[in-house]
Amino acid sequence: MWDYTPIVKDHFLNPRNVGEIPNADAIGEVGSLACGDALKLYLKLDDNKDKIVDAKFQTFGCASAIASSSALTEMVKGKTLDEALAVSNQDIADFLGGLPEEKMHCSVMGQEALEVAIFKYRGIEMPQHDSEHDHGPAYPDYEGEIVCKCFGITDAFLKKVIETNSLTTAEQVTNFTKAGGACGGCIPKIKDLIAQVLGEAAAQTRVRPEKLSNMKKMQLIQEVLERDIRPLLWADGGDLELIDIDGAKVQVAFRKACAGCASSGNTARMVEAKLRDLVAEDIVVEEVSA
Amino acid sequence: MKEIYLDNNATTKVDEAVFEEMRPYFCELYGNPSSMHFFGGQVQSKVNEARGRVAELLGASPDEIIFTACGTESDNAAIRSALEVFPDRRHIITSRVEHPAVLTQCRNLRQKGYRVTEIGVDGAGRLDLEELKTAIDDDTAIVSLMWANNETGVIFPVEEAAKIAKSKGALFHSDAVQAIGKIPINMAASHIDMLSLSGHKLHAPKGIGVLYLRKGTPFRPLLVGGHQEKSRRAGTENAAAIIALGKACQLAGQHMEAENTVVKAMRDRLQDALMSAIPHARINGGGAERLPNTTSIAFEFVEGEAILLLLSEFGICASSGSACTSGSLEPSHVLRAMGVPFTCAHGSIRFSLSRYTTEAEIDTVIRELPPIIARLRQMSPFGREHLQGKA
């Protein structure tokens, strides 16, 4: 049995704002019968067309999907459209006192319906993609190329969720979006996307210092390993540990999936290149089996 | 809140008589059945008695009974053994609707280079024997097909399938975990070589299983390192649980007729009442021969976990073929193999009864479930045009 919080249970058993708004200003629809959950969100705006005065929902899905929809409608009432757009899926989960990680995709569905409703109302283009997925896209208003064919989930959507929730493993991505949760065929692609997002984040801070004291260099090496390198390895189920720094020589040991991996030599070279790039040109990485 | 337990295909209540039978073998008669002294010896004779009782329920002889830790172990042992005794045969046949204890193992073996054929089923969950005849060849080491499906209760023609397997010299194994104790089985008149059984599905405790191994069938043990079970399953006997299972099998034999009359009548009343009270519903496997205690009903436009949790508010325990309950994201592989449309696969609920089920409990479900489905459909964005004025 899922470990739902009392707030989730309350919003499931006594959902707020169920139903339709006949002349709604904005409607957001995500999910499908085939996917196993779907949400249709209705928003009514005030006379200035700025503030949300009423919100209602119709949801097909599990207890946490219903609770997330109910929470969402309660959260956005009284907010301006801009304030509503700032609501994240984590905010929905927090409002409910937390969701089991496997159910985070329910909060993502809520946030997405909200975004789709507001973007559509504002006439912001969310072009439909064209693809041959199995049973319809879960987020039809999100552009990009379909990555997960089973659930119809695009790369653009996945990158957004990976980024906003700082996800580092394919399993987390599945929990948050369902992508990869059925046939699993797209998991390598999901790992690539994680690496891309992490790489982009790292690239933004890429400045190699001119001259470094030994102490500063050691600090920076540790920082780069933590911030830029280990997350990349985590995405593939691997890890590394810093064993020693002796001048320009950096000794690391590979852990988890990286330990004993045939391509750990390549991984060591990748680590070296990254450290040379971000710390100092003369760095040599040595793999030790400590 | 008193539970209304209609999830007996998941696990069952330990019968009080079964518990009494095993109780002395923890704190008082705790000897090791393999010991030479009288203290172990008296446990040994009770274990032998239990072996005889299990054999009797199966129509087998006592030395064909190997005690294991669970149905999953029995399934694993059977398939592994067949591959070891036929090292030159590299093909395995199973079905798409097997329990993961069989299916996952077969798929792992496929990764290791074995050829695996998964036979399909029709819309009612019936096995396609023609597909089996086409798939089997001289390379087939083992055919493993379940006796009855855990989700739908659909019964497979395992005897026919076993004959087909034997015609090519392959071994035949059946995961009979759901069938034993619910329908009569007679191994004396059977072609099946190996059969798995699990104690906790027939009112014995968890942690005890059986692998039936037909006399003369070549076998290689999964667990080695002890002479127990004639060296076919090493490890100190779980004496108390074995003794419990013996008693449970004896009782199952006595209740067999009631299972197929009284329990079946309650199951039929439940599904008939629900089908007439709730539009847009279908019985999964309704057109096939099924176990007397099981019914799986698909309700369109609603999701199974939500149904289960609302039922749970009334103390009603059932299970679902829905994705959300299991932590996986797709509806059950069984329903998908049957081609149950996605529109209702997510809303499938399984009720599995037992000899402890009462008419009053069935009444409660018949009273409480229709408003739950109506309430969730009211909330759902789908099916409104279909359901107007109905649900």
Q: Quote the CA–CA distance of B380 and B391 in Å, as a whole number.
A: 12
Query: Which residues does B34 contact at the CB level (< 8 Å), separation at least 6?
Result: B40, B44, B227, B228, B236, B237
Q: What is the pLDDT of residue B26?
A: 97
Res B326: pLDDT: 57
Does the CB of B378 have a partner CB in chain A at under 8 Å?
yes
**B322: which chain A residues are within 8 Å (Cβ-Cβ)?**
36, 62
SS (H, E, C) A39-82: EEEEEEECCCCCEEEEEEEEEECCHHHHHHHHHHHHHHCCCEHH
* Distance from C-alpha of B86 to C-alpha of B63, rounded to nearest angstrom: 23
Q: Does A137 touch chain B (CB under 8 A)?
A: no
Residue B13 phi, psi (nearest 5):
-65, 140
* A39 CB within 8 Å of a chain B CB: yes
Nearest chain A residue to B377, by CA: A60
User: Which two three-digit tokens encode residue A238?
Assistant: 């691997």
Residue A42 touches chain B, beta carbons under 8 Å: no
Interchain pair B303, A40: CB under 8 A = no
Query: CA torsion angle for B183, B184, B185, B189 (degrees, to 10)?
Result: -140
Are residues B142 and B117 in contact, defined by beta-carbon separation less than 8 angstroms? Answer: no
Contact A62, B308 (CB under 8 A): no
Structure tokens belonging to residue B86: 């036929």
**How far off is chain A from B330, nearest CA to CA, in Å?**
6
B382 vs A38: CB contact, 8 Å cut-off? yes
Interchain CB distance below 8 Å, A36 and B303: yes
Give the residue among B358, B328, B340 at the shortest CA–CA distance from B263. Answer: B358
pLDDT of the residue at A128:
46
Q: What is the DSSP string of B126-180?
A: -B-HHHHHHH--TTEEEEE--SB-TTT-BBP-HHHHHHHHHHTT-EEEEE-TTTB
Tell me what pLDDT residue B202 has: 97
Note whether A62 contacts B324, CB cutoff 8 Å. yes
Query: Under a CB-based contact definition with an 8 Å cutoff, are residues B377 and B347 in contact?
Result: no
Interface test with B, best of A1, A5, A33 (most B CBs within 10 A): A33
Pick the catalytic residue: A35, A150, A186, A258?
A35
In angstroms, the CA A179 to CA A248 distance is 42
Of B301, B313, B381, the CB nearest to A40: B381
Max Cα distance, chain B (Å): 76
Q: How far is B112 from chain A, CA to nearest CA, in Å?
A: 19
What was the pLDDT predicted at A134? 38
Rounded to 5 degrees, φ, ψ at B179 are: -85, -35
Domain(s) labelled CATH 3.90.1010.10 in chain A stretch across: 6-199
Interchain contact B1–A (C-beta under 8 A): no
Q: Which residues pair with B320 in a beta bridge?
A: B349
Compute the nearest-CA separation of B166 from chain A (Å). 34
A190 CA: distance to closest CA in chain B (Å): 16
Question: Contact B270/B357 with Cβ under 8 angstroms?
Answer: no
Paired with A240 in beta bridges are A254
- 3.30.300.130, 3.40.1180.10, 3.20.20.70, 3.30.360.10: CATH of A214-287: 3.30.300.130
The amino acid that residue A40 corresponds to is K
Q: What are the structural domains of chain B?
A: 4-10+255-387 (3.90.1150.10), 16-252 (3.40.640.10)
Q: Are A264 and A254 in contact (CB under 8 A)?
A: yes
- Tell me how far apart the alpha carbons of residues B332 and B82 are, in angstroms, rounded to a whole number: 28
Question: Any chain B CB within 8 A of the CB of A151?
Answer: yes
Q: What pLDDT score was predicted for residue B80?
A: 97
The CATH classification number of A6-199 equals 3.90.1010.10
For B55, the token pair is 């054999």
Predicted confidence at residue B97, as pLDDT, reads 96
pLDDT of B391 reads 41
- Cβ <8 Å between B323 and A36: yes
Largest CA distance in chain A: 71
Please give the positions of B annotated as active site: 324
Kindly state whether B331 is in contact with chain A, defined as any CB-CB distance less than 8 angstroms: yes
| A28: contact with B, CB 8 A cutoff | no
Domain with CATH 3.30.300.130 in chain A: 214-287
Q: Are B329 and A37 an interchain contact pair (Cβ–Cβ within 8 Å)?
A: no
- pLDDT for res A137: 53
Low-confidence ranges of chain B (pLDDT < 50): 390-391
Pair B183, B289: CB distance under 8 Å: no
A68 to chain B, minimum CA–CA distance in Å? 13
B residues 157..216 contacting A (CB < 8 A): none
Sort out which chain B residues have CB atoms less than 8 A from A61's CB and list them: 303, 306, 324
| Burial of B85 from C-beta contacts in 10 A (0-12 / 13-18 / 19+) | middle
- Whether A185 has its CB under 8 Å from any CB of chain B: the answer is no
The residue to which tokens 């000897």 are assigned: B31
For residue range B340-362, list pLDDT tens digits in order.
887 778 899 999 999 999 999 99
Of A33, A61, A103, the CB nearest to B343: A33
CA distance A71 to B99: 38
Q: β-strand B209-213 against B65-68: which pairing, if any?
A: antiparallel
Reported as a single tens digit per residue, the pLDDT across B189-247 is 999 999 999 999 999 999 999 999 999 999 999 999 999 999 999 999 999 999 999 99
Q: How far is B308 from chain A (nearest CA, A)?
A: 9
Residues A60, B380: C-beta atoms closer than 8 Å: yes
Residue B388 CB neighbours (<10 A): 8
Chain B residues inside the 8 Å CB shell of A39: 381
Which residues in B lie closer than 8 A to residue A13 (C-beta atoms)?
310, 313
At residue B4, what is the residue type? I
Tell me the count of A-B CB pairs closer than 8 A.
Answer: 72
Per-residue pLDDT tens listing for chain A (290 residues): 778 999 999 999 999 999 999 999 999 999 887 778 899 999 999 999 999 999 999 999 999 999 999 999 999 999 999 999 999 999 999 999 999 988 999 999 999 999 999 999 998 866 443 333 334 455 656 667 888 887 888 888 898 899 888 898 888 898 888 888 877 888 888 988 888 888 777 666 566 777 778 888 888 888 888 888 888 888 777 888 888 888 888 988 888 777 777 677 788 888 898 888 888 888 999 888 76
- Residues B92, B144: contact at Cβ < 8 Å? yes
Angle ∠(A83,A87,A92) on CA atoms, nearest 5? 145
Q: Residue A287 pairs with which residues in a beta bridge?
A: A252
